[in-house]
Every structure is written in C-alpha cells, then in structure tokens.
C-alpha cells in the first residue's frame, strides 16, 4: 500500500513570497491533516479535512495560510505572504475512519526555509 | 486544550540496555495514545499505540503502559540497537484530534 505522498520535499523562499505544498493521502482515507513541525518540537495541527470539508482549522493563521481539498482526495496548503517564523516542516497525514479515533499516517514532509 | 508533556528530552543508552520515555496528558477525555518514531529527514512513523481501555501493550522489543488515573503513559524499549536511534514522540488523541509531546532524542551507543 502506497503511503502519504508530499511535494516538494524542500523549498527555500524569501519572506513575503508565496509557497504551496501538495499532499496525496493513502487511498481510501477520508480524513486528511496538515501539521506544522518547528525544529525541536512536536507536530502541531493546522487544519483537518474530512472528505472535502473542513473539520478543524482553529490553529490555522487564516490571514496568511489557506488550504483546500477539492474532490476529497489531494490537498494543497498555501502560505501568502510567508514570514520568517513560518520556517518549519509541513507534514501531511491521513486516517481511514472518521467515525472513531484512528491511526494517523504521515508523509515525509516539506521542509520550508524562509529567508 | 490538551497539554502533553514528554520527558526526557534527550536519552543516551548503551546498546542492549533498556530505554524508557514518559508522557503525561491533561484531558481526561483522551482515549488514544500513539507513539511515533521520526528519523532525520522523514515523517513520523507509528511504532505502537494503546487505547484507553487497555493498560499495557507489547510488540516484540517495544511496550507501552497507560495509567489513566494518573494520566500518564510510557514507552519501553528493551535490548536497544543502534537503529533505534531517532526522535520519539508521544501523542494523546480524542476523536482524531492529536496533541503531540515535544519529543525525546534517543541515542543508542554501539
């Protein structure tokens, strides 16, 4: 079974520029998550989708971050404009059963450096 | 919201020794406690998990214990090997919302 795919793996941008990350979850997984992992810390949830609807975006800085999951499969996370403090690894995860607490499977992440 | 504390932040053991990592949580509604291993440049990988109706679970050299009354759970790795060196994260979850600890960097010396 293929795992969670993410691209790009690395991205370097200047502050105030825009950037977008892409995620393809495990086939059949209804729930998709975007996490931010700052160096030396655990992952922090940014947004959670169930199919193509948002379940939780309470930790998403909505003035600069946006995310969508059209057709309930792939998802993109965008930052516009980027700040220095956005430098982090952005992890995508997916889980199968939305009706109960379920294992989350993570992708390899995208390491973003903002200069 | 939930608060998960993880200790120690770094742990160095000799190959063959045991390693123990401890976590506490604050939300009594949490009912799922996974442990993830993260190697450099990779995403977290689930190594073991436990649900709130179970006190202990074992998978070969890895075991997890849960004390719901005290709100703490622990990861035990026996007979450590150099390939166990990584950062380990605990998490507590309730209906798919996970809160992660700050991580433990485990170094197994050959």
pLDDT for residue A1? 65
A53 — contact with chain B (CB < 8 Å)? no
CA-based nearest distance B81→chain A, Å:
23
A94 — contact with chain B (CB < 8 Å)? no
CA-CA distance, A65 to A86, in Å (whole number)? 10
Question: Which residues in chain B touch residue A105, judged by CB atoms under 8 angstroms apart?
Answer: 46
Q: Give the residue from B5, B43, B52, B91 with the most A CB atoms within 10 Å of its CB, the best one to mutate.
A: B43
pLDDT for residue A4? 97
Question: Which residues in chain B touch residue A4, judged by CB atoms under 8 angstroms apart?
Answer: 43
Q: Are A53 and A30 in contact (CB under 8 A)?
A: no
pLDDT for residue A99? 79
CA-based nearest distance A71→chain B, Å:
21
Q: Are B18 and A84 in contact (CB under 8 A)?
A: no
Give the chain A residue whose CA is nearest to the CA of B49.
Answer: A103
Give the CA dihedral A78, A83, A87, A89, nearest 10 degrees: -20
Q: Find, among A20, A18, A2, the residue nearest to A107 by Cα.
A: A2
Is the pLDDT at B109 greater than 90, yes or no?
yes
pLDDT tens per residue, chain A (115 residues)? 679 999 999 999 999 999 999 999 999 999 999 999 999 999 999 999 998 899 999 999 999 999 999 888 999 999 999 999 999 999 999 999 877 788 999 999 999 999 9
Q: Where would I find the beta strands (DSSP E) of chain B?
A: 5-7, 10-14, 19-24, 32-38, 45-51, 56-59, 62-67, 72-77, 86-94, 97-100, 104-109
pLDDT tens readout for residues B45-100: 999 999 988 899 999 999 999 999 999 999 999 999 999 999 999 999 887 889 99
Question: Which residues in chain B touch residue A103, judged by CB atoms under 8 angstroms apart?
Answer: 34, 46, 49
CA-CA distance, A61 to A47, in Å (whole number)? 10
Contact assignment for B43 to A107 by CB distance below 8 Å = yes
As given in the structure block, the two tokens for residue B60 are 């070969």
Tell me what the mean pLDDT of segment B22-44 comes to.
94
CA-CA distance, B101 to A70, in Å (whole number)? 31
């Amino acid at each position: 079974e293929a795992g969670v795919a993410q691209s790009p793996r690395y991205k370097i941008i200047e502050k105030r520029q825009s950037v977008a990350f892409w995620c393809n979850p495990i086939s059949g997984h209804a729930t998709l998550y975007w996490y931010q992992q700052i160096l030396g810390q655990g992952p922090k949830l940014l947004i959670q989708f169930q199919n193509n609807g948002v379940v939780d975006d309470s930790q998403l800085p909505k003035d600069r971050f946006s995310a969508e999951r059209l057709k309930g499969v792939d998802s993109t996370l965008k930052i516009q404009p980027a700040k220095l403090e956005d430098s982090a690894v952005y992890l995508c995860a997916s889980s199968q059963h939305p009706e109960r607490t379920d294992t989350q499977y993570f992708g390899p992440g995208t390491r973003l450096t903002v200069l | 919201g939930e608060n998960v504390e993880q200790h120690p932040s770094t742990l160095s053991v000799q190959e063959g020794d045991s390693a123990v990592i401890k976590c506490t949580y604050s939300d009594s509604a949490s009912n799922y406690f996974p442990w993830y291993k993260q190697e450099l440049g990779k995403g977290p990988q689930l190594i073991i998990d436990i649900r709130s109706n179970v006190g202990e679970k074992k998978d070969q050299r890895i075991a997890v214990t849960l004390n719901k009354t005290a709100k703490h759970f622990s990861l035990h790795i026996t007979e450590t090997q150099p390939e166990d060196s990584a950062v380990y994260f605990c998490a507590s979850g309730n209906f798919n919302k996970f809160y992660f600890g700050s991580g433990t960097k485990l170094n197994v010396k050959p």
